[in-house]
A = this chain, B = another copy of it.
């Protein structure tokens, strides 16, 4: 009657996920080292990339995109503003919100940072075919959607 325990690490899906988590962790560490030359860290990079792509986001928008708390943005963005990378301008129609824009310096830095990020990702994913990459993306998107739907946010 002693039900033999199913060890999680013998479980294919479990093992698979562990390898994903590990890869992410390593990736973040490598990326952090590579962009340190620009004197920024991964959170700053995420902000720069998002503002590069979507100008005029509010802090709330940005926080939601990055899956972090609003207070996090309230801590990081003023630093970046002081550094001259972004500007925060109040919205005319809604005086609660601050809209975010890259300065010229910020835009230039974002481009340098994205180049580095792209190189790291390329170097990393060159061990896989494009088909494999796209299949991975597919699995991950389904999975994220499943989690977000089930668990709210």
A117 at the interface (CB under 8 A from B): yes
CA A145 – CA B48 in complex, angstroms?
29
B24 touches A21 (CB 8 A): yes
Q: Helix, strand, loop or mixed for chain A's interface? A: helix
Copies in the complex: 2
Question: Which chain B residue shows the least CB distance to A23?
Answer: B140
> In the complex, how many angstroms separate the beta carbon of A4 from the nearest chain B beta carbon?
13
Q: What class of interface size applies to chain A in its complex with B?
A: 35 or more
CA A145 – CA B26 in complex, angstroms?
10
Q: Report A's interface with B, CB cutoff 8 A.
A: 5-9, 11-17, 19-30, 33, 49, 53, 67, 111, 114, 117-118, 121-128, 130, 132-148, 150-151
